[in-house]
Amino acid sequence: MATTSNPEKRSTGAFHSLRDFWARVTEGLKVSQLWGQFKSEATATYGFYSKDVDRDAIDQEKSKFKRFWRIAWGLFLAMLMKLSPARRVLLIAAIILLIVHSDNFDFGWLGAAILFLLLALELADRVTMKRDLEIAREIQQWLVPAHPPTVAGMDIAFATRPQNTVAGDYYDAFLRPLPSSGASNPSLLIAVADVAGKSVPAALLMATFQASLRALAATPASLDEIVTGLERYARAHSLEGLRFTTAFLAEINTETHEMCYVNCGHNYPILRRTSGEIERLSTGGPPLGTPLFTEDEVSYPSGRTQLQPGDLLFIFTDGVVEAVNETGEEYGEARLLPCVHPSPANAADVLSRVMTDVNNFVGYARQHDDITALVLRVTA
């Protein structure tokens, strides 16, 4: 009995080991999910390399066969030139060895070994870069609040999803250290900003924006003066307008719930009243750091509105409405507006509803921009 059961046990053990290995490799994803992820990544990768291909020369080619080979050759050169010179030579050598055949010696295994070596070198670079970016993301996360402040009569929630490991989007909500004139309690300052560009350059400018905002907010300066200070700094460090910043800033009196706000070229936030009426908060001026043909300072008029119990304020970056699915269709505000309603949910529920709806619309398509949203609901 024991002798006949051993092969069965070995077979069962091998099956479990294989299943565990497959689960580890796929991270529990189904085959359909893996295929959808692969298609999305393949499409994004093709778009990345095809930017370096001479499309004009391809379009002028009338022969489909020659056009195909021009595209293939252009993509190969685009990939080749992304490597270091030494790795370019290794790749060319590996391809030649895979093609060459000899009766006395099989060069194919040598070419495959070189390709495996190149893969190992590229993976090592990727892992090293990813580790550095993870550290940068941890630092960036220190600059934004992990939890919303506790403010009587207000419910706040926020979320961000970087397009890469680090983001150029910024959100904040904090009580100012000093009460404003005539108030006994500190006011609430909320901000959502979007630095032009993506990844590390935008993230670095986002960090300087956060530092500037926090420094100015610690003074008795009004919201108008804070915006003026941010504009001066942004203009001095915008690289002639290449790194401008859109932002929406608002200061709320925590006693009366009166809100003063300035929109600096940002997507118009949605203020949904308890009656269902929707207001768009557009008062302000151009993005911070926009190149100008005059040395005069930009004027940023502020708007004012009275928040009432049940009102919902939804502030977002363009990554929300410009999220695209696999067909290239944008999510758009027509889909966003129905999701932004306060009853019967709290701020976190509204935020979750919007983010889930965006996810369902996008599907497996790769994210093209940072996505950030902040929800403020007046409860009393």
User: Where does the pLDDT of residue 175 fall: very low under 50, low under 70, confident under 90, or very high at 90 and above?
Assistant: very high
pLDDT score of 61 more than 80: no
**Final residue in a domain of this structure, among 115, 138, 161:** 138
- Confidence at residue 138, expressed as pLDDT on a 0 to 100 scale: 74
Number of domains in the chain: 2
Residue 198 domain flag: yes
Distances in Å between the Cα of 261 and the Cα atoms of 60, 167, 264, 315, 343 are 53, 24, 10, 12, 25
Q: Is residue 212 part of a domain?
A: yes
More confident residue, 271 or 53: 271
Claim to verify: residue 160 and residue 117 sit in the same structural domain: no
Q: In terms of C-beta density within 10 A (0-12 exposed, 13-18 middle, 19 or more buried), how is residue 317 classed?
A: buried
Contact 36, 364 (CB under 8 A): yes
* Residue for token pair 């893969």: 119
Average pLDDT estimate for 46-62 = 77
335 shares a domain with 220: yes
Model confidence pLDDT, tens digit, residues 99-130: 887 666 778 888 889 999 999 988 888 888 77
CA 287 to chain centre: 19
Alpha-carbon distance of 243 to 289, in angstroms, equals: 7
260-278 pLDDT tens trace:
999 999 999 999 998 889 9
- Residue 6 inside a domain? The answer is no
Q: Does 248 share its domain with 111? A: no
Beta-carbon neighbour count of residue 370 at 10 Å?
26
- Across residues 304-331, what is the average pLDDT? 92
Same domain for 131 and 166 = no
pLDDT of amino acid 190: 96
Q: Does some domain include residue 8? A: no
In 151-205 the beta strands, taken as DSSP E runs, fall at 154-161, 169-175, 188-195
Tens digits of residue pLDDT in 122-154: 888 888 877 777 776 777 777 788 899 999 999
The reply to whether 318 falls in a domain is: yes
Is a pLDDT exceeding 50 seen at residue 293? Answer: no
Whether residues 66 and 180 fall in one domain: no
Which range has highest mean pLDDT (2-16, 28-42, 184-198, 254-268)?
254-268
CA dist 123 and 180 (Å) reads 54
R_g of the chain, CA atoms, integer Å: 27
Flag whether 75 is in a domain.
yes
Q: Which CATH number is 264's domain given?
A: 3.60.40.10
Distance, CA of 371 to CA of 330 (rounded, Å): 13
Neighbours of 289 (CB within 10 A): 30
Helix axes 108-143, 199-217, angle to 10 degrees: 10
Q: Which residues on adjacent β-strands are paired with residue 285?
A: 264
The domain containing residue 170 runs over which residues? 145-378
Would you say residue 266 lies in a domain? yes
Segment 297-307 shows an average pLDDT of: 90
Note whether 320 and 331 are within 8 A (CB). yes
Are residue 290 and residue 372 in the same domain, yes or no?
Answer: yes
Out of 138, 156, 183, a domain closes at 138
Beta-carbon contacts of residue 152 (< 8 Å; ≥ 6 apart): 254, 380
Indicate whether 259 pLDDT > 70: yes
Asked if residue 272 belongs to a domain, the reply is: yes
Task: Give pLDDT, residue 2.
Answer: 47
At 327-377, the pLDDT tens digits run 889 999 999 999 987 666 789 999 999 999 999 998 877 778 889 999 999
Residue 50 has pLDDT above 90, yes or no: no
Q: Give the predicted TM-score (pTM) of the model.
A: 0.74
